[in-house]
Amino acid sequence: MKYLLILASDPAIPSPAPGDDDFDAYMGAWGSYTQELVEAGVYQGGEALQGHETATTVRHAEGSTSIVDGPFAELKEHLGGYYVLDVDTLDDALAWAKKVPIGTGAVEVRPIFPTDGY
């Protein structure tokens, strides 16, 4: 079954930026985690997201649409990226989520609705 790991972190605790002393170690941890997923054969995809300030939301309501700058919801944590995994059980997905090198933050694990045959 496929699971989405949604990565969220506290914007008050910034991640290292290129040029910071600890940036290479920070990115190395993410690269190692991703490589471990690939080697285990569970990695289906994933990407880092640009900051919430780059978001644009298209809202649909009662037959009309509107476009607004910003994320779709005001959150205490910002969405920073995601992984898609194909594992046997929720417990397997949770085990991988525990290994995410997010530091201070959260990983929401959600099953992907199977659309095969639609």
Each domain of the chain, given as residue ranges in start order, spans: 2-111
Which candidate, 58, 49, 54, 55, places its Cα nearest to that of 9? 49
Q: What is the DSSP letter of 110?
A: E
pLDDT digits 0-9 by tens, 60-115: 989 999 888 876 666 667 888 999 999 999 999 999 999 999 988 899 999 999 88
Q: Name the pTM for this structure.
A: 0.85
Instruction: Give the CATH number of domain 2-111.
Output: 3.30.70.1060
Predicted confidence (pLDDT) per residue in 18-66, tens digit: 999 999 999 999 999 999 999 999 999 999 998 878 888 888 989 999 8
Furthest-apart CA pair in the chain: how many Å? 51
